[in-house]
Amino acid sequence: MSKKNIPVKPNETYTLTIRDLGIHGEGIGAVDDFTVFVPGALPGETIQAMIVTAKKSYATGRLISIEIPSAHRTTPACPVCHACGGCQISHLTYEGQLAVKERRVKDVMVRIGGCEESLVRPIAGASRPWNYRNKMAVPVTQVTSGPVLGYYRQGSHQVIPIASCAIQEEENNRLLRFAQGFMTRHQLTGYNEKTGRGSVRHIMGRVGDHGEVMAVIVTASEKLPLADLWVSEMRKLLPEVVSIYHNVQSHKGNAILGKEIHHLWGKKTLTSSLCGLAFEVSPFSFFQVHKPQAELLYEKALAYADLHGGETVIDAYCGTGTISLCLAQKAGRVIGIEIVKEAIEDAKKNAAFNHIENAEFYAADAGEFMPKLYQEGLRPDVIVMDPVRAGCSETVLSAAAGMQPSRIVYVSCNVATFARDAKILAGLGYKVKEVTPVDMFPQTMHVETVALLTRKEK
């Protein structure tokens, strides 16, 4: 479409009816079939929007007024939600959020995966859609008046001051407020990304079993200013903190933690339970941030695996072994494969910590390692895959199908890449039997899925 044919102009206001939400939670409407994205608008609403930018195939607009509001519009629990990039759809009731996410999974599975809509089961919603995150990593910066702790403004690295995050567990919010007060009282400086000056970069909190907290103070400087005072005041004012670390991150970039870390006080690890298993969590460990929903997702994966005690299972992207160890409780043998060596070491420790002896872990590329296992005579009954957002490589999919398991259980954090992979697996002899969406991250547009694929009958 040429610029002459674009039906909207910047700085002019138009009436739109919103039909859907985009992947970042923005409302999607149209002017003469020309797509316009409007942050803050909800499906079913009629709005007035001023055009901000007009491209060849779409435009973006700013919400001016709501003429007809959605029945699911609500007042957000957080006063800075529209500026902060953490919560995208907290102005939508939880019922409305679940409906949007379930609809998205169905649409993508039909459009990309070539599946029947009826294969998608009702979404599994959260019993607690607020204050659910057990991990916090708050950036710290410096302004004229002093240090500022908060979250980044959407699409930028400007820190918005915040004293309490509505999706964080309250123990993490207490740590956030303590750190803000401590740095202000003692005139400690936050880090300036542009100049590289200042000391404290992030405050990280992790909440384990029984509300115990691990605190990690991340600095750009080699030494933590007032290290002993951090420890003594934190112990006095935050009795739930049982572990304190100092991490050094002196390199520019978005990585929160650096490689150098110093244990200042207390326990070296937290214990976090999941599905009846106990996991030791360090500052560097991966652990699910929404425990009840992770348990629900794993239980569904186990149900799809349909284990009876003697099966051989491959967990092709095992990470630190959480799903593998859950599977091992019901299988005969579990083989976990993960390309990240540090994650495999954690998986081995977690197996020993839980006295599980029928799970073995290998640091390898699943696409290369699975064919070797097949050549050695291994015939898995079930293969479980939980890849990163990019999904599986075709090498891994071919290797998995080539081993001819009776069932493939696919856990995904990106329904679009899962749908793509499901279509590839269909060509390799596996059909989608069922897909269950799981709302792991309420107030955001993210949705997890767990799916069962079975071998096609010849």
CATH code for the domain of 196? 2.40.50.1070
Read off the tokens for 320.
Answer: 């630190």
Do 304 and 449 fall into the same domain?
A: yes
Angstrom distance (rounded) from CA 384 to CA 337: 10
Do 231 and 347 fall into the same domain?
A: no
Do 15 and 31 fall into the same domain?
A: yes
CATH code of the domain covering residue 431: 3.40.50.150
Angstrom distance (rounded) from CA 15 to CA 439: 32
219 found inside a domain? yes
202 found inside a domain? yes
Q: Which of 274, 309, 335 is the last residue of a domain?
A: 274
79 found inside a domain? no
Do 107 and 145 fall into the same domain?
A: no
Count other C-beta atoms under 10 Å from residue 73's C-beta: 16
Do 121 and 156 fall into the same domain?
A: no
Return the residue matching tokens 């999706």: 167
185 found inside a domain? yes
> What pLDDT score does 2 carry?
54
> What pLDDT score does 448 carry?
98
Instruction: Measure Cα distances from 47 to 7, 91, 100, 149 in Å.
Output: 17, 15, 19, 35
Q: Which of 19, 44, 68 is the last residue of a domain?
A: 68
Do 38 and 182 fall into the same domain?
A: no
Orientation angle between helical segments 94-111 and 415-427, nearest 10 degrees:
30
Do 245 and 150 fall into the same domain?
A: yes
The answer to whether 294 and 319 have CB atoms below 8 angstroms apart is no
The one-letter code for the residue type at 17 is T
CATH code of the domain covering residue 56: 2.40.50.140
Do 446 and 303 fall into the same domain?
A: yes
- In terms of phi and psi (left: phi > 0; alpha: psi -120 to 50; beta: otherwise), the region of 133 is beta
387 found inside a domain? yes
81 found inside a domain? no
The DSSP line for 285-344 is ----SSHHHHHHHHHHHHHHHT--SS-EEEETT-TTSHHHHHHHTTSSEEEEEES-HHHH
Residues of the chain with pLDDT under 70: 1-4, 458
Q: Which of 227, 248, 274 is the last residue of a domain?
A: 274
End-to-end CA distance of the chain: 48
Residue 180, SS3 per DSSP? helix
CA 59 to chain centroid, in Å, comes to 28
Residue 84, SS3 per DSSP? strand
Do 352 and 240 fall into the same domain?
A: no
Do 255 and 371 fall into the same domain?
A: no
Do 218 and 156 fall into the same domain?
A: yes
Read off the tokens for 401.
Answer: 């199908």
295 found inside a domain? yes
Angstrom distance (rounded) from CA 437 to CA 119: 11
Q: Which residues pair with 161 in a beta bridge?
A: 150
The answer to whether 398 and 413 have CB atoms below 8 angstroms apart is no
Q: Name which of 134, 229, 145 is nearest 173 in CA terms.
A: 134
| Domains: count for the chain | 3
Angle, vertex CA 207, rays to CA 206 and CA 209, nearest 5: 140
The one-letter code for the residue type at 161 is P
Q: Which domain holds residue 340?
A: 102-127+290-455
84 found inside a domain? no
Do 366 and 448 fall into the same domain?
A: yes
> What pLDDT score does 154 carry?
81
Which residues are known catalytic residues?
A: 413
